[in-house]
Structure 1
Amino acid sequence: MKKLLKSLSKPLWAAMHNFYNFPCESPTLWRLQDFFNRWAVRFDPPTFKVAADSKQFQEIMARSTGLTDLSDHLAILFKESLSSKPELIVELGVGQGESLFVFERVAQICQSKIISVDIVDCNSVGSYDNWFFVQDNDTLFARKFDEWCKERSIIPDIDILFVDTSHCYEHTCEEIRLWFPYLSKRAKVFFHDTNLKRLYFRKNYTVGLGWNNNRGVIRALEDYFQTSFNEKKDFITILQGWIITHYSHCNGLTILERMPS
């Protein structure tokens, strides 16, 4: 049944979407998405009952059974962040708190500080004691980051940087220019929505609705590394002192990890 689901899901949705030319905000398309996902989950139900000694990991695996544009990446985000033993985590874009849910649990283990930035008031999203929320445009805040950290006795060396904001090319280029100078020598950077499109698929073949950002995030990374990437396929490469790992599913997640010096 899984093979049948896999073989039918993408062509079925692509044909339907092209034929009817539904805009992604169409109520009809949202209803079709919900109907299809309920059907798909019946044949491939999500599970999180894995053997693990970590309460935080169990919580994240439980959270990952929800169908969101980041749900497939939560365990990866936790593992990759935890292995860095971060002292400072900076999250650009909070939204409904999916990534923050992970970072709070990493911080509980590593005693990290978390700074989250969003243009919308997300003060109620987090609950970790050492979490700071800043309501601002992240590129404007970057220009005063030094001063802001100094006032709070925080060393502005970022070990984990998570970028999930406008997904627009120019904005992402500006984020790279302004935030990368603050990265520590052992930093990891996560870019979400590096394979953003009107329809995206998760590992269990459920579908989600996105939008066409003209490859904004991945194109900004192509400019930075002066190369081209095929964001539709998973890949690992090494460029300019960075190990680059890309996951194509669930809107795409691209991880940059500094090479050991």
Structure 2
Amino acid sequence: MRENDRELLKRVEAYLSDQGVSPNAISDIKESLRRDIQKSEQKNIDYTTYRQKSTAEILLTIQKNLFIMHFNPVVFFVINFIMIAYLYSKQLVPFGAVTGLFILYVFVILPISILVYYRVRNKNYLYHNQSERYLGVLLAVGAFVLMLMHTFDVTLGIHVVTHYAHMAVAIAGLIITMYGLYRQHYEHTGIGLLLLQKTIDIIVPDAQIAQYLSITLWIMLLVMIIIYTIDLSSNKERR
């Protein structure tokens, strides 16, 4: 490795340590940088020359990507939580139906949000995530349009999907909740609990018991949000 590249690695490590970045994240970044430096070594030039960026610019890119990665779960949770809360009508569940807006969310907004979420989690520390940025803008615009349509009571019709579809959503909610708790990915737990709350009437036939369980799920959701907020503020490394 060239001397300037070794110096770059030391500067990156020192800067990130001063910023309070976790040792695991620093190790990941250094490993990514070492692999990328091999590209410049093949051309027998310094990495900064290969990237046509100064050390400060490289550090700034890393810092921006760390920020995006840290808040990526928050954006994923907020968008999907709002979409499900507003578009998944609890009143239609006993009739085995949903609105056209919710179907549009399931087949358009949800897949895009999942795609962005997992692409950002790939931890591309060294380069700008241009495609994810464009997808994020598309996601935000799409979610805003659906919310606007919902505000003006444009539902795109009521569609029968049968009780089995809602039961499948309930099962998915339970699985997502358990997975989120196990992996301590509380954005998953929150969405799973919300899905359970929305579909509780299809699982529990007794209306009074279902109402009590619905309130319990809302309380659990509130507790989860508090825990999630504390978890984010601790800047703890995600698994």
The TM-score range, normalised by the shorter chain, is under 0.3
Q: Which has the larger radius of gyration?
A: 2
TM-score by length of 2: 0.23
TM-score by length of 1: 0.22
